[in-house]
Amino acid sequence: MNIRSIDPRLLVGEGILLALAAVALGAGMLFPGDPQSMVAQPLLAPGAQAAHPLGTDMLGRDVAAGLAHGARATLLIGVVSTVFAVVVGGLIGVLSGYFGGWVDNVLGKITELFQTVPPIILVIALTVVLGPSIRSMMIAIAAVSWPPIARLARGEVLALREREFIEACTAVGMTHGRIILRHVLPNIAPPILITISIVVATSILIESGLSFLGLGDSNVTTWGGMIGAGREMIRTEWQLTAIPGTAIMLTVLALNFVAEALSEGRDPRLALG
């Protein structure tokens, strides 16, 4: 592919995501030790000490270390919860669209049941019931993220089910499982993959909101937790919320860039518009 034809949003988005992934993976090497430990005088301004380039918070914790280790936890929550959502939502959507009939009715009602409750209310309720932890946040976020994926997968399968090659596979006696694995899943994968970027971004925002509200794991540093800890001093020490907030903004922006570029690349009519 000619590099001139590559959407610049895709390059920018992938560049930001690769940089964040590198920071998350190398957090232990860049900032060894516990990021929640007091390492210097509280409320050092950014740039005041070379050892702590982003300063310290009200407890003397290194903001840069928290940002790096928080990237690992925040991205992990976003990615793992999205994987669960894609597996559950994709499976329900494929089965619902492929078999139709009572299977579609039952799975459709289950999907509608989860969508009748406002997502933020369901997330908070599940997190409170399961207890504040990384695992409970993953479960809660996955629980509100799979219904849109299920509806997307169902719609794609319904359009695909009437195609001639699917009918030909059925006519020659190919099993349903083989048809789904060899012909249905590969054809519905592109729109699902595009949606994954949006789901990861939404998951990160939800996690940040939960941590901001104090429903996250207090023993694990996350970007939302850093914002929540610094909100009481936002008038005088605004950088304590602005730094992790900027990290969240850049991550979500990068994921949206990737999703938009992939979506328009899949549909040439959008690119021409």
Q: What is the pLDDT of residues 160-177, one digit of tens each?
A: 887 777 778 777 878 878
- Residue 51 CB burial class (10 angstroms; 0-12, 13-18, ≥19): exposed
What CATH number is given for 54-266 in this structure?
1.10.3720.10
Average pLDDT over residues 234-241: 89
Q: Can you tell me the mean pLDDT for 54-62?
A: 91
Rounded distance between C-alpha atoms, residue 41 and residue 36, angstroms: 14
The arithmetic mean of pLDDT across residues 83-107, rounded, is 91
Secondary structure of 72-138 as H, E, C letters:
HHHHHHHHHHHHHHHHHHHHHHHHHHHHCHHHHHHHHHHHHHHHHCCHHHHHHHHHHHHCCCHHHHH
Please report which confidence band the pLDDT of residue 92 belongs to, taking 50, 70 and 90 as the band edges.
very high
Residue 271 has a pLDDT of: 41
* pLDDT value, residue 266: 58
The values of phi and psi at residue 259, to 5°, are -65, -45
Decide if 154 contacts 100 (C-beta within 8 A). Answer: no
Q: Say how far apart CA 122 and CA 129 lie, in whole Å.
A: 11
Mean pLDDT of the residues in the chain:
86
Residue 68 has pLDDT above 90, yes or no: yes
- State residue 260's pLDDT score: 83
Residue 268 has pLDDT above 80, yes or no: no
- Going by the DSSP 8-state scheme, the letter that residue 35 receives in this structure is T
Alpha helix (H) residue ranges in the chain: 8-25, 27-30, 63-99, 101-116, 119-130, 134-161, 164-171, 176-179, 185-212, 223-230, 239-266, 268-272
Whether residue 189 contacts residue 131, with contact meaning beta carbons closer than 8 Å, is answered with no
Q: Is 14 exposed, middle or buried (0-12, 13-18, 19+ CB in 10 A)?
A: middle
Question: What band does 265 get if pLDDT is binned at 50, 70 and 90?
Answer: low
What pLDDT does 272 receive? 37
Instruction: Return the amino acid letter for 176.
Output: H
Other Cβ atoms closer than 10 A to 172 = 6
Contact assessment for residue 114 and residue 57, using Cβ atoms and an 8 Å cutoff: no
- Give percent of the chain above pLDDT 70: 95
Amino acid at 35: P
- Whole-Å CA distances, 82 to 35, 78, 132, 141: 26, 6, 19, 8
pTM metric for this prediction: 0.83
